[in-house]
Amino acid sequence: MKVPFGAMTITPHARDLVNKALDSTRVSGGQYVHEFEDRFAKLVGVRHAVALSSGTDADILAMAVLYDFGAHRGDEIIVPALSFVATGNAVLHAGFKPVFVDIKRETLNIDPEKIEAAITKKTRAIMPVHLMGKPAPMEAINAIAKKHKLFVIEDAAEAHGAVYKGKNVGLWSDMAAYSTYVAHIITTIEGGIVTTNREDFAEILRSLRAHGRACKCDVCVVNTNSGYCAKRFKYGKDIRFVFERVGYSAKMNELEAAIGLGSLTLYHKIIEKRRHNLLTMIERLKEFDQYLTTIEEEKDERIGPHAFPIVVKEGAPFTRDEFVSFLEKNGIDSRDLFSSMPTQCPGFSFLGYKLGDFPNAEFMGTQGLHIGVHQDINDEHIDYVMDTIRAFLKSQ
């Protein structure tokens, strides 16, 4: 049996929209992108959503908004040491310095008790990551941010459908950055989106994604229906060539948005299926708790069912890589549970951190993995995964 890590569902509705976009010859951002933004915002429960070319760009542009509010290049953003490398990369690409904080092993998320020690006069924001869809401790994080007058940006790349203390992830911050990459619950193949309740943030995000242009209306009449724009010569010259800030080229296109609109039609069904798979795996892994552990869904949260993390405990008579190799040989695809960005990713070595600075993140970097819980997995697959784990442990 094969158990692939990810799956993608392209609906007939999405195929129809793609063909309509191709027939219209309007394939850059237009009415489908706007519709995707509007429906995504309603799903999260926010006023605004700005669609972008990747989840990494979503992080980057959310941070770049802060330059309009007094931030300077070289200022600091606090992030967890454990995440997909895109989180740390985004801070640097936005022109800031990442300041890393260790995680709690049982949650995989930033340890709020270690945040204040990392705050300096140059700190501008805290960017928690809801890793594996498990909500970060947002109440504690927001209390710290309020005390020190910092912005909060949620990296919700993996947190579609996550809920913390009765509120959707994405509602706990100034902005939230999502990925709509191919393996995620809502997918546009490649893509990302930033949500916010602040209209001024949304306008800046629209400017930033298009090279910093002064064009930043919620609905662009030129792009959506090729209509006349009364604002076009507002500044005495073509507004499309007035650049208010240093920007990026980070727009989502119509074909990607069409795929995303199809994905949204199945959102609740996919969430339900993936949550069944995740919660079933969490419960069944307890059979092997002598050597393996995972996250738990606590009473005040709903984990966004991104993937199923497995951690090899200290003292196990085998390594994570030996375990992964056995899974792979038996058709079960997996991924490492990322790495400590500052100490296990060579690209960050110039920042001067040393191995041992983030012991919990580093532990996950050597002991953790994750496998799929996607909508194409059924109970038979789960049985096979558990049988394979059982066979491996018996061989040790």
Are the C-beta atoms of 302 and 53 separated by less than 8 Å? no
Of 199, 202, 213, the residue nearest 248 (C-alpha): 213
Report d(CA 249, CA 247) in Å as an integer.
7
Are the C-beta atoms of 136 and 128 separated by less than 8 Å? yes
Ramachandran sector of residue 162 (left: φ over 0; alpha: ψ -120 to 50; beta: rest): beta
Report d(CA 213, CA 204) in Å as an integer.
9
Q: Is 212 helix (H, G, I), strand (E, B) or coil?
A: coil
Q: Which two tokens stand for residue 233?
A: 């010569």
Report d(CA 155, CA 247) in Å as an integer.
20
CA 142 to each of CA 1, 66, 93, 137: distance values in angstroms, whole numbers, following the listed order: 45, 17, 25, 9
Report d(CA 47, CA 390) in Å as an integer.
48
| Positions marked active-site | 184
What's the distance, CA 277 to chain centroid? 20
Report d(CA 61, CA 50) in Å as an integer.
10
Sheet holding 368-371, edge to edge: 292-293, 308-312, 368-371, 335-336
Report d(CA 55, CA 51) in Å as an integer.
10
Strands (E), 95-241: 97-101, 123-126, 151-155, 163-164, 167-168, 175-179, 192-196
Report d(CA 373, CA 294) in Å as an integer.
14
**Strand 76-80 with 123-126, pairing:** parallel
